[in-house]
Each structure stands twice: as structure tokens, then as C-alpha cells.
Amino acid sequence: MSEEDVRSGLRDAVADEPPLHFDPDELVATARSQVRRRALVAAGLATVAIAVAAVAVPAMVGRDGSGTTPVADRPASSTPSPSPSTSAVPSPRPDQWPPPGVEPVTRTVDELRQRGKEMGEHLRGSLPATLPSATDFVHGEFGGEAEGEYYPEQTSINAAISFTIDGRRYSIVVTSWLPGSTGSPAETCVANCHRLPDQAAGALYDQTEDYDQGVIETVFHFRDTGAMVSVAAYNYDMTSGAMPTYHQSLPVSLDQLVAIATDPELEL
Amino acid sequence: MRQADEESFRRFAVAHAGKLRRSAYLLCGDWHFAEDLMQNTLIKIYRSWSRVQKDESLANYGRTVLLRTWLDEKRRPWRRSEQTAAAVPDRSDDARGPGDSPERLWAQDLVHQGLLRLPPRQRAVLVLRYFEQLSVAEAAAVMRCTEGTVKSQTARGLDALRASVSHLVGRVAS
């Protein structure tokens, strides 16, 4: 089969294209409403954050510095400032992403495979402690496009882990990106996104995607090193290969997601 | 968005909707899914229109967004578990394409069916190079990788496509 055969094969594959009923006005209306909704969510979250800070900061006055809450520790950095822009995502911290001075890092396939093995081993040991009510863990191998498979110039590795809580199967996906290889928080965290109080060297964002019955909550940890780790929790077992059985709630709390996302052992 | 910007976005959307949907179809193998991908891609472009509209390689930016949108969708479980590659017909489709022999059209169906069995990035690079007719440099810009990666993925993709088509032909013949 020649390259010309490929060209003509692909050309002819779309020859039976069904009619396109494309209405640009409808598309613009949909896009506008999404932008408006994101702006409203951003404004709402900013209002809540300001209210929290208004209560937390006065409460700190007179304290001796011990026993402060994470929010009170860093009231300024944990409070998204209200933005006049239409973006739902607050300005990333650091303001420039990747952080100044961070050069994109590359790894060979062998290096990625080795790190994947190490991270897999680490998660086998750490997850039962982080998720104490979970049992019957099934750890997928780290990989790229497919489990255990890597390719040259790959910039992230990911693994899916499923487990049982109260007799129901759930799953999470852990993904680790090389320094300098991801877009900014505003480009990455795009659905119902809000910034969390800082708990480690970097910035934390939380995203919730709601697809009728399927819910995916993802915490992104943009690290000061320029690397990024995300953990996505599913209200079903996304590894089963069958039609999902959805459950009422997510299996992992926000604190647990943050604990995994900020784990220093998961840096690529 | 200012009215003038919105007008220029409308013009861009009208000019590129069909092309984006065709590329999406080659990537995913389903016209309905391809239409969703096209719509989502254009909505994402709308959100960043004021920033990207002056970009000289706006069409390639659209291809990049489409590619990301597709790859993101593939991560979703109902996409992972779906069978995108339709069953290969066990004989040629006589009803299709009056200008070509049924045997030739059947062989060309195999190219797309073979393509749908490749890993996502190999699939993408073959669509960009042989359907979109992009240069190596342009494909690298769209895929956000080096030209060397495009060349190696293209070579591997072509080998895999040939193997996939041979496998399909063998399966039908047996």
C-alpha cells in the first residue's frame, strides 16, 4: 500500500459525508451562555472566598501563631480575587506558567517506564493508607496512550486504579506531567474550576465535570518545579470496559484527592 | 466579545466547520461523534477568539484544539469502551460510488478501518499528513511535538496501517 493509496483511502472515507446542518448563530449562542455561566461561577466562588476570608482573618488576630487552619495560614494566596474577565479560572500562581526559569524537561522511554514502575509501587503502598475505607485495589500499570505503553517524547504518564467501597466499585486516574509540559491552570482546569487553598509548593485547582450520571472530580497540583500532577476521581469504575454503573457519590473526599495530588513521590 | 470579533468568529466557524468535522470523522469513525467534536472545538476557539484571531496559523490552531478535544474525549470511559471501528464488510459495497469499481472502494474502506485500529497519535499524524496534506513542520506545530517525532510516528503509523489492513484482508478472506 503506497502513500498515495493512503491519501485516496482517507479522501474517499469522507466521500459519503452526511449533510452538515451548521448554524453559526446557534453555536455562538451556546458559546456565549457557557462563557456567562463560567463567569457567574467565578463570581460566586470569589464571593464565598471573600466571605470565608472575612471570617477567618479577624479570627486569627491575637493568636500566637499555633494551630492555624490552612486557609488562615495563607489568606491572601488562597483567596481567588474577583476578576473582571469572563474566565472562570483565577489567575494562576505563579502568574506565568510554567514558572520563570523552568525549561521543558524530556525523558527517554526507558526513563518514563522506570518512573512509572516506581510510582506504581509507591501508590500500591500509599493508597490503602490514604483511602482507608477502600479495599480490593486493582492497580493499572502506568503508561501513555495505553496501559504499560510509552512513546518517544511522551510528556506525561498515567495510571488508573479501581477499588471497592461499601461493595461498590470506583476508580481514580493519577497523571503526572514533566516540568514545563502542561498548559497554564486556566488552559488546563476548564470545567467548573476553582482554586483551592495552598497546601504544598505550588497551586491547587479543583474541577468537577458532570455528565448526566457520570461525575469526575479532578484536583490539579501545579508545582513550583513546573511539573503537574492530577488525580481524577470517578463515581464509577472506568476501568471495567463495560457500560459504567454510576453511584450517588464520589469515592474520594477533596482532602484525599489533594493528599494524592500533592504527594512528592508522584513527580515525574 | 465585541460584535466585530463575533462576526469574524462566525466567518471562521462557517469556513472551517465542514473541514473540522471531516477530520474528526477520520479520527473517531463516527459522524455523530465527529459533529460533537467539531462543535466543542469551535466553542473552545470562541472562548479564546480575542487572543487567537490574529494568529496567522489559525486553521492549524483549530486542528490543535480538535486533536486535544478528541484525545480528552477518548479518556472518558464511555469512549474508551466504545468500538469505533465498524465491522469490515465481507464483500464490496456495490451501491457506493458509481465512478469507481466496487473492489477499489472496498479497499479504500479498509484504509479507514485500518486507521481506526491504530493508537491515537499515529492515527492523528496520518490524518494530518495524508488527509490535511500538512508538511512535517505544520503537523509538528499542530501536535505540539518535534518534527522528528512526526517523522517517526508517520513511519510507524504507515507500517501499522499496512499491517492492520493486511490483517483485515486476511480476516475477511478466511
Q: Based on the fold, state whether residues A114 and A211 are members of the same structural domain.
A: yes
| Domain match, A130 and A259 both | yes
Give the pLDDT confidence score for residue A186 in this predicted structure: 79
Residues B20 and B38 in one domain: yes
Residue A103 located in a structural domain: no
Looking at the domain assignment, is residue A89 inside a domain?
no
Q: Which domain holds residue B78?
A: 1-84
Mean pLDDT of A176-201: 84
Asked whether the beta carbons of residue B25 and residue A22 sit closer than 8 angstroms, the reply is no
Same domain, B22 and B97: no
- Cα B161 to Cα B89: distance, rounded to the nearest angstrom: 18
Nearest chain B Cα distance for residue A64, angstroms: 47
* Residues 6 or more apart whose Cβ sits within 8 Å of residue A79: A49, A50, A52, A53
Mark out chain A residues that contact chain B at CB-CB < 8 A.
Answer: 1, 3, 5-18, 20, 22, 24-25, 27-28, 30-32, 34-35, 145-146, 149, 151-153, 173, 211, 214, 234, 236, 238-244
Residues of A in contact with B165 (CB under 8 A): 1
**pLDDT tens per residue, range A25-77:** 889 888 887 776 655 555 555 555 555 555 554 444 433 333 222 222 322 33
Residue, of A228 and B68, whose pLDDT is higher: A228
Question: Are residues A244 and B76, on separate chains, in Cβ contact within 8 Å?
Answer: no
Residue range B143-168: average pLDDT? 86
Contact between A1 and B111 using a beta-carbon 8 Å cutoff: yes
- Is pLDDT at B34 greater than 50 in this prediction? yes
- pLDDT for A95: 58
* Separation of alpha carbons A185 and A205, rounded Å: 8
Q: What is the pLDDT of residues B122-133, one digit of tens each?
A: 999 999 999 999
- What CATH number should be reported for the domain holding residue B30? 1.10.1740
How many domains does one find in chain A? 2
* pLDDT value at residue A97: 84
Answer yes or no: do A129 and A72 share one domain: no
Q: Compare CB distances from B108 to A3, A9, A151 and report the shortest one's residue.
A: A9
**pLDDT top residue among A76 and A16:** A16
**Residue A148 forms part of a structural domain:** yes
Structurally, chain B folds into a number of domains equal to 2
pLDDT (0 to 100) of residue A115: 96
Alpha carbon of B136 to those of A59, B139, B143, B149, B151: distances in Å? 60, 5, 10, 9, 7
Q: Contact A15/B130, CB-based, under 8 Å?
A: no
Weakest-pLDDT range from A158-172, B6-20, B36-50, B73-87: B73-87
CA pair distance B159, A19, nearest whole angstrom? 34
Residue B64 sits in the same domain as residue B134 = no
* pLDDT greater than 60 at residue A247: yes
Sheet order of strands, A168-177 included: A135-139, A156-165, A168-177, A228-234, A214-223, A202-211, A193-196
Among chain B residues, the shortest Cα distance to A11 is held by: B131
**B42 & B58 share domain:** yes
Q: Which domain holds residue A181?
A: 109-266
* pLDDT tens-digit readout, A107-153: 999 999 999 999 999 999 999 999 999 999 999 999 876 778 787 77
B63 and B44 in a single domain? The answer is yes
User: Looking at A33, A49, A84, which one is the last position of a domain?
Assistant: A84
ipTM for the complex shown: 0.82
Least confident segment among A188-202, A211-225, B76-90, B152-166: B76-90
- Together in a domain, A160 and A195: yes
Domain boundary among A69, A84, A99: A84
pLDDT computed for residue A49 by the predictor: 52
Rounded (to 5) percent helix, strand, coil in chain A: 35, 20, 45
Check whether residue B96 and residue B139 sit in a common domain.
yes
Question: From A241, which residue of chain B is nearest by alpha-carbon distance?
Answer: B81
Question: Within this chain, do residues B75 and B60 fall inside the same structural domain, yes or no?
Answer: yes
Question: Of B23, B58, B84, at which residue does a domain stop?
Answer: B84
Average pLDDT score over residue span B6-29: 93
* A-to-B residue pairs, Cβ atoms closer than 8 angstroms: 119
Asked if residue A68 lies in contact with residue A197, where contact means CB atoms within 8 angstroms, the answer is no
Query: Who among B17, B21, B130 is closest to A6 (CB)?
Result: B130
